[in-house]
Amino acid sequence: MGTGGELAAVVGVGMTKFSATRGDVSMPGLVREAAQRALEDAGMQWDDIDAVVMGKAPDFFEGVMMPEIFLSEALGCVGKPMLRVHTAGSVGGSTALVAASLVHSGVHERVLTVAWEKQSESNAMWALSLKQPFQVSINAGAGGYFSPIIRQYMEVTQAPELIGCMVAFKDRQHALLNPYAHLHQPDLTFDQVVESPMLWEPIRYSETCPSSDGAAAMVIVNEAEADKAENPAWIHAGAMRSEANNFPGRDEVNPLASRECAADLWKQAGITNPREEIDVVEMYVPFSWYEPMWLESLGFCERGDGWKLVESGVTHIEGGDLPVNCSGGVLSSNPIGASGMIRFAEAALQVRGMAGDHQVTGAKKAMGHAYGGGAQYFAMWVVGQDKPAA
């Protein structure tokens, strides 16, 4: 049952303020800000940490190859083990899982994990559109890639056209409850979302994520350490799955890797009815329509019903019974390499009762979710207020 090996829990969470340009800090300063907050939350000193696991998306964003190497001292890692994970957009989640594995395995007792991106050092469109010679496919950026998939979802489910706008509006409202969120748009109206320019039809400007600077960090410890903590978030399950990008018969709308990753996750966590048993979800939604798509794929509802949950307000923090992305989600803050870890960390904050204004009352079990590549890399975890059942 569970994740295998020893129990592990999150006892420290730290995040930076997310913004288009964090002009006040260097790269060391940025990662340090999140890491320091996580340590303070955990009541620990740098010396208490056994190892550091860093996650980040492509090194081209900052133009530093393997930047964990020069960030060793900023993260108090000198003389310690340092791992650097990169699994495309899911990396923040994968990184947390690798850090957790160091504890589950009994190799370490206290691990610091940090994921970050400082996208303002370059330009995301530049870094993501590097075109190799002889490449046949055109590269129209992430929007151009995911739009045809979303179009097929809409066709299959016959979802009303404005579902995506509802998700976007909801997440921007949620962001107002999170002081760290990049986008704070108190005056935004639903009509403005609907009327925002169509960028990658059917994706409107307001249905896309921003490009952010930011970092997230967590301290993950073993059972003995977690027992000393006031409100640990126990890791009940963790799963990763990957599949190829393009192959005959690939279901790109509801990828098998997503479904199998979720099935493994629920099995590990002993969850048979996610809709009932999960109190809050932090889901990787860089384009609004992915909320209903993942709700279906993850088993929160039947296939074709995801948009109905959105439409009926189930995923709204106010009045919804399955609030999704109470932090504002990727749609409100997107330092790419950190975005997955923010989901995992927000899930931990919820079950620790430390999510502040975006706290879901009485949240006991939460899911953190991340995906990447052409919707082909998945990382997920379930954290809970209570120790996992033996």
Choices 57-65, 227-235, 339-347, 358-366; region in contact with other proteins by CB under 8 A: 57-65
**In angstroms, rounded to a whole number, what is the distance separating the alpha carbons of residues 125 and 383?**
34
C-beta separation of 100 from 8 below 8 A: yes
Work out how close the CB of 173 gets to other proteins at its nearest, in angstroms, rounded to a whole number.
26
Write the CA distances from 350 to 136, 259, 282, 357, integer angstroms: 45, 24, 10, 11
The answer to whether the beta carbons of residues 242 and 257 sit under 8 Å apart is: yes
Nearer to other proteins, 254 or 315 (CB): 254
Q: How far is the CB of 2 from other proteins (least distance, A)?
A: 10
Can you read off the two tokens belonging to residue 308? 């109905």
Site string for other proteins, 98-137 (x = CB under 8 A): x--xx-xxxx----------x-xxxx-xxxxxxxxxxxxx
Note every long-range contact of 240-243, with CB atoms under 8 Å and residues 24 or more positions apart, other chains counting: 240/87, 240/90, 240/93, 240/94, 240/97, 240/377, 240/378, 240/379, 240/380, 241/377, 241/378, 242/87, 242/373, 242/376, 242/377, 242/378, 243/376
- Identify the H or E element spanning 127: helix 124-128
Question: Is the CB of 118 or the CB of 174 nearer to other proteins?
Answer: 118
Q: Which of 10, 76, 63 is nearest to 38 (CA)?
A: 10
Nearer to other proteins, 2 or 320 (CB): 2
Could you say whether residue 242 binds other proteins (CB under 8 A)?
Answer: yes
Does 20 interact with other proteins (rule: CB under 8 A)? no
Structure tokens given for 294: 């993942």
Interactions with other proteins, residue window 22-51 (CB under 8 A):
22-29, 32-33, 46
Beta carbon of residue 303, minimum distance to other proteins (angstroms, whole number): 14
Nearer to other proteins, 158 or 361 (CB): 158
In angstroms, what is the minimal distance from the CB of 146 to other proteins? 8
Q: How far is it, in rounded angstroms, from Cα 100 to Cα 109? A: 10
Of 131 and 230, which has the nearer Cβ to other proteins? 131
Mask: binding to other proteins, 256-295, rule CB under 8 A, as x and -? xx--xx----------------------------------
Position 247 contacts other proteins (CB under 8 A): yes
CB 58, min distance to other proteins, A: 4
**What φ, ψ does residue 204 adopt, rounded to 5°?**
-85, 165
Query: Per rule CB under 8 A, is residue 73 in the interface with other proteins?
Result: yes
- The reply to whether 177 sits near other proteins by the rule CB under 8 A is no
Residue closer to other proteins, measured from CB, 189 or 245: 245
CB of 389 to other proteins, least distance (A): 18
Closer to other proteins by Cβ: residue 4 or 356: 4
Nearer to other proteins, 79 or 186 (CB): 79
Among 129, 121, 203, 133, CA closest to 167: 203
